[in-house]
Amino acid sequence: MTGTYPHTRLRRVRATAWSRALHRETLLTPADLIWPLFVTEGEGVEDPIASLAGVSRWSVDGIVARAKEAVELGIPCLALFPHTQPGRRSEDGAEALNPDNLMCRAIRGVRDALGDKIGLLTDVALDPYTSHGQDGLIDDAGYVLNDETVEALVGQSLNQANAGADIIAPSDMMDGRIGAIRDALEDAGHINVQIMSYAAKYASAFYGPFRDAVGSRGLLKGDKKSYQMDPGNTEEALREVAMDLAEGADTVMVKPGLPYLDIVRRVKERFEVPVFAYQVSGEYAMIEHAVAAGAADRDTMVLETLLAFKRAGCSGVLTYHAAHAARLLNG
């Protein structure tokens, strides 16, 4: 601490709006946001998600329209997640490898309409495609098999890269998948396709509405604690991040977001790399429920929580409030 009262009055620089703006340490802009969107079958379809008020599944043409909206708002990147029809789900999640699956059609639709005006981040995991709702292949006891799953994830990554994805985002938490995917991308000539690793993804209670959105909640057998992280662990998160960076991840993600800002800060300070966080569906739903109950103002709460991510060290945030926040920030 330098200076003493009254020679130093910390309130002095807070007295006017212009001075507060001049001294603000952390800034939030639309360029800090990634907008997650859910893709569904059909044409002209908007399918509202009951547990995610204000969020819908969109057919490919709707995804293209949202992409155009994002460009206008200054949002640089979309994150795409498929709502695979039950008849296309299987024990081995083979639909993930179909070059004409929902994800690939959405990628091509946006790419054809907008070229490189917007980035496309695509989820790599098998849970949107498996009949059992797990992120990987399972044995007879229901245990998720690591190495066999990694092989499938490599094929899924190449499928999305071939369709035009800019960022491959493995959310599965299998050991060794980043190195295997990076090698495969290099060998296939996709040298500029980025990998954003879900490096510290916790076995969290905040994912429920997302599972509704992709249609896996009622399918999930057991839990995901054998591969997603224990919420009580910090040092393990640093080991996960270190391994993923060593294997070729360009950026890393912490998930969930707000309850894990301490992990964001530890990762940023330890590794000095771009760190992203996912303000997950349960976090979004809590804000919307608070607003519906008259307990909070949506605009101020959305911007304050997103600013907290930036202050903790995030380079960007995946948030379902992206479009709303961008409109507020654009004035």
Catalytic-role residue among 68, 117, 221, 255? 255
Domain contains 51:
yes
Residue 201 among the catalytic residues: yes
Domain contains 223:
yes
Q: Answer yes or no: are the C-beta atoms of 148 and 92 closer than 8 Å.
A: no
Domain contains 11:
no
Domain contains 150:
yes
Distance of CA 302 to the CA centre of its chain: 17
Task: Say whether 43 counts as a known binding-site residue.
Answer: no
Q: What is the largest CA-CA distance in the chain?
A: 72
pLDDT digits (tens, 9 = 90+) for 83-135: 999 999 999 999 999 999 999 999 999 999 999 999 999 999 999 999 999 99
Catalytic-role residue among 201, 224, 268, 310? 201
Residue 3 confidence class, pLDDT cut points 50, 70, 90? confident
Domain contains 197:
yes
Token couple for 153: 């994830």
Range of the domain at 172: 27-330
Domain contains 239:
yes
Average pLDDT rounded to a whole number, residues 290-300: 98
Rounded CA separation 266/228 (Å): 19
Domain contains 6:
no
Q: What is the pLDDT of residue 272?
A: 97
Average pLDDT rounded to a whole number, residues 303-327: 98
Which phi and psi (to 5°) does residue 71 adopt? Answer: -60, -45
Residue 215 confidence class, pLDDT cut points 50, 70, 90? confident
List beta partners, residue 251.
196
Considering only CA atoms, give the Rg of the chain. 20
Rounded CA separation 29/52 (Å): 24
Residue 255 among the catalytic residues: yes
pLDDT at 1 over 70: no
Domain contains 144:
yes
pLDDT digits (tens, 9 = 90+) for 20-67: 999 999 999 999 999 999 999 999 999 999 999 999 999 999 999 999
Average pLDDT over the chain, rounded to whole? 97
* Domain count along the chain: 1
pLDDT digits (tens, 9 = 90+) for 137-177: 999 999 999 999 999 999 999 999 999 999 999 999 999 99
What is the SS3 string spanning the chain?
CCCCCCCCCHHHHHCCHHHHHHCCCCCCCHHHEEEEEEECCCCCCEEECCCCCCCEEECHHHHHHHHHHHHHHCCCEEEEEECCCHHHCECCCHHHHCCCCHHHHHHHHHHHHHCCCCEEEEEECCCCCECCCCCCCECCCCCECHHHHHHHHHHHHHHHHHHCCCEEEECCCCCCHHHHHHHHHHHCCCCCCEEEEEEEEECCHHHHHHHHHHCCHHHCCCCCCCCCECCCCCHHHHHHHHHHHHHCCCEEEEECCHHHHHHHHHHHHHHCCCEEEEECHHHHHHHHHHHHCCCCCHHHHHHHHHHHHHHHCCCEEEECCHHHHHHHHHC
Q: Answer yes or no: are the C-beta atoms of 81 and 126 closer than 8 Å.
A: no
Residue 329 confidence class, pLDDT cut points 50, 70, 90? very high
Rounded CA separation 37/54 (Å): 12
CATH of the domain at 265: 3.20.20.70
Q: What is the pLDDT of residue 216?
A: 83
